[in-house]
Amino acid sequence: MTRRNAQLRWRDIISIIVSLAIGISAFSLAGPRLMTELTGVEGNFRAEQCRWQKDYDGVRQRACVGSFTAADGSFTIRRIAAEDLFATDPTGPVASRVSGPSADEAVRPGLMSLAPLLGIGLIGFAFPLWALIAGTLDLLARRRAARPRPEEPHERPSDLPTAPGTARTNSGVRWIHSVPIAISIAAGIFMCHAAAPRLITQLTGVDGTFLAGRCAWGDFDSDGDRTMTCAGDFTASDGSFTLPGIKIDGVFDHRPDAPVAARVSGPSTDHAVQMDLVGSLAPMGLGLTAFAFPAWALTAAARDAADRRRRRRTTPPPTAGGNPDSWGPLPST
């Protein structure tokens, strides 16, 4: 009896969890900006202070802070940061949107900047969606096949003679696993890329203190709590330099009144880093964990290829396959 069998194994469950985590993370990053661009308050942003900052590609651009005025004149935000970076300092008003009068970032219209994050989110949900459909079809097939039927005799690959020492269970790596493998590699690179500079600064940076000058409350989390992000002045411990108006990584439960111990990578940096190794080691661990499945798949695929070469030299080619219409990532045999 042949049927379409999803046959989801533990490795597929791990892939589903990783894919869902990547999809949810991508949409959680893109969601607030997307909602602001679609439903936010229109207005104009005027830059008042700009500084150099590197984007994700390492290109130096201008990050600006200024004021925002609603198009209908209902409110004005005196101190607000522009979420986007500029090639040069904007000399006039820039059309932007904000989520409301208490927003701390102004967003320029344009959905193309969100395309990469939205694409990663959709790819992240692709494999779990396929697994859900495959599992549903498998359950329906099991219900239809409740009554046993006589099975047609045919030769199975497991019945073929094999040379001593060459028979082993196939790892089951198939082309469908390329989606979670690509997602895992992208997630690992992204997490390590985000955490490695922070960790290097914490281990080898210049010691000093950060004095908060401007703080803004963030949105409520799932527990109903709010945290704030701050910008201020950093002073090196030896007094060799001072960095005014830079941001500090991390969030605070309340506005810090006293100087906070921090480190920077050097006199030309645009942000300070709190001395919290756990906050850097956690994403590094997640990044290394994301590389685990691709590493296993590469090793298993290489072993399967070597095993097939040995089998071709020692056994005749099979005359019949397993279940050619399997829905799942693994063969039903």
For the segment 173-196, the average pLDDT, to the nearest whole number, is 75
CA–CA gap between residue 141 and residue 327 (Å, rounded)? 11
- DSSP bridge pairs for 314: none
pLDDT in tens, 107-151: 887 766 677 777 777 787 777 777 777 777 777 777 777 766 655
pLDDT in tens, 81-118: 888 888 888 888 899 999 888 888 888 877 666 777 77
Pair type for strands 271-274 and 260-264: antiparallel
When pLDDT is cut at 50, 70 and 90, the band that residue 176 belongs to is low
Taking Cα atoms as reference points, which of 48, 105, 94, 91 lies closest to residue 71? 94
Taking Cα atoms as reference points, which of 53, 55, 76, 50 lies closest to residue 65? 50
| Whether the predicted pLDDT of 28 surpasses 80 | no
Choice among 37-51, 77-91, 159-173, 247-261 with the minimum mean pLDDT: 159-173
Choice among 8-12, 34-38, 45-49, 284-288 with the minimum mean pLDDT: 8-12
Q: Is the pTM of this model over 0.85?
A: no
| Whether the predicted pLDDT of 5 surpasses 60 | no
Which percentage of the chain shows pLDDT scores above 90? 4
| Whether the predicted pLDDT of 308 surpasses 90 | no
Which percentage of the chain shows pLDDT scores above 70? 77
For the segment 18-23, the average pLDDT, to the nearest whole number, is 80
pLDDT of residue 328: 47
When pLDDT is cut at 50, 70 and 90, the band that residue 317 belongs to is low
The 3-state DSSP class for residue 77 equals: strand
Q: Write down the number of H helices and E strands in the chain.
A: 5, 10
| Whether the predicted pLDDT of 45 surpasses 90 | yes
Yes or no: say if 16 and 131 are a contact pair by the CB < 8 Å rule: yes
Which pair of structure tokens corresponds to residue 287?
């990044």
When pLDDT is cut at 50, 70 and 90, the band that residue 9 belongs to is low
When pLDDT is cut at 50, 70 and 90, the band that residue 15 belongs to is confident
Give how far Cα 56 sits from Cα of 94, 108, 139, 276, 326, Å: 23, 18, 45, 23, 42
User: Around Cβ 109, how many Cβ atoms within 10 Å?
Assistant: 13
Question: Over the chain, what is the mean pLDDT?
Answer: 75
CA–CA gap between residue 91 and residue 150 (Å, rounded)? 80
pLDDT of residue 151: 56
Check residues 76 and 129 and name the one with the higher pLDDT: 76
pLDDT in tens, 205-220: 888 999 888 888 776 6
When pLDDT is cut at 50, 70 and 90, the band that residue 44 belongs to is very high
In our burial notation (b when 16+ CB lie closer than 10 A, e otherwise), range 75-103 reads: eebeebbbbbbeeeebeeebebbbbeeeb
